[in-house]
Each structure stands twice: as C-alpha cells, then as structure tokens.
Copies of this chain bind each other. A is one copy, B any other.
Amino acid sequence: MNAARIPDSLSPTATIILGFLSQREMSGYEIKAEVDISTRFFWAASYGQIYPELKKLRAAGLVEGADRPQGGRKRTVYRLTPTGRDALRAWLRRAPETLELRHEGMLKVYFADALPAGERVETLKGMVEQHRRHAAQLEQTKEAVEGDEAHDESSWCDLVLRFGLDFDDWVIEWCEREIAAAEEDGRA
C-alpha cells in the first residue's frame, strides 16, 4: 500500500508476530494462543505486547489487516506483506544476540550456603522437581501438536520441542550427578 521499507531492527515481539503470520493469516488472539503452546518455553509474549505491536507493524507496512467479523463480533486477521516477509528473512539471517535465563532453582543453589550444611542439597533436588514438571508440560504440548490434523513433522518447529525435552533431561541428569557427589561428601 504505502512505501514500506525493511526496518534494520525489529523488536523480538515483532519477529514472533511476523514468524507466525508467515505460516498463515491469524488474529492477535490466535497469535497469543500459538505463542502459549509453542515459543512460550523460550520466548513468551503477552496481549499487552502483541496488540500494540500489530498496529505498529501495520502502520509500517509489514503486515496487512482485514476485517473478518464472525457474526456480530468484530475481528481482524493479519497477513504478511512482501516487505514483511523480507524483514522476517533479514532478521533470521542476523546472528542471535539475546540469551537470557531466569532460573529460580539455580538462584537457590547459588545461595545454598546460607542454609545449614545438611540441608543444602535440597536446593538441587528442588531443581530436579522443577524440570520434571517442566518436561511433563512439554510432553503435553507434544501430544497436542502431534494430534493436530495439519502437522508437518519435518518442520523445524518440532526441533525446538525436542530441544526443550532434551534440555530438561540433561539438567535432571546434571543435578542428580551433583546430588550423588554431595551426598558422598557428606558421608566422608
């Protein structure tokens, strides 16, 4: 429509939106729902980010919106413009920067020295439990995705699910090795 240029930087929320819209056209509500069952485990997004960002992207000409009311309820579905697709590809080709972790379990292990010596190993056991719960959630997601009608298992989306599950397994094994080592020290 208007003279859309590829911006040289996109907010992470913008890239998630462009990414999902590259698969099919969606409403903001659908994008949020997709995030919650897929990228949530390595990048979350809330309505408070998605709706304003959709408007910005529309103004920038990276997405187009079309009114598709269902019954008497208004509804806008968005799809990528050619410029939007180029912007997504440009972002995909740049080296990743952000790598942040918010891990309460690790924080407790880090400060375990403030506990009586015999109790410190409990922080590691707490971490094991946390990752068991996390893995169980991912298993549920996996089943839901696999039960989906139009599920392409060669897709790269599957890769990140596997990454999540493998990661949980790895952390659990790592902690259990350390728990065993700590308990041996305790006996010695």
Contacts and interface: CB of A to CB of B under 8 A. Distances in A.
Interface of A: 12, 15-16, 19, 22-23, 38-39, 41-44, 85, 88-89, 91-93, 95-115, 119-120, 122-123, 126-127, 129-131, 134, 155-157, 159-160, 163, 166-167, 170, 174, 178
A135 to B, nearest CB: 11
Q: Could you say how many copies of this chain the assembly holds? A: 2
A92 B16 contact: no
Given A99-B102, A112-B92, A130-B95, A107 B156 contact: no
A102 B104 contact: no
Nearest to A157: B110
Contacts of A102: 12, 42-43, 98-101
30 contacts: A12-B102, A12-B104, A12-B107, A19-B110, A19-B111, A22-B111, A41-B101, A42-B102, A42-B110, A43-B101, A43-B104, A88-B111, A88-B114, A92-B114, A96-B103, A96-B104, A96-B107, A96-B126, A96-B127, A96-B130, A97-B104, A97-B130, A98-B102, A99-B104, A99-B130, A100-B103, A106-B160, A110-B156, A159-B178, A166-B174
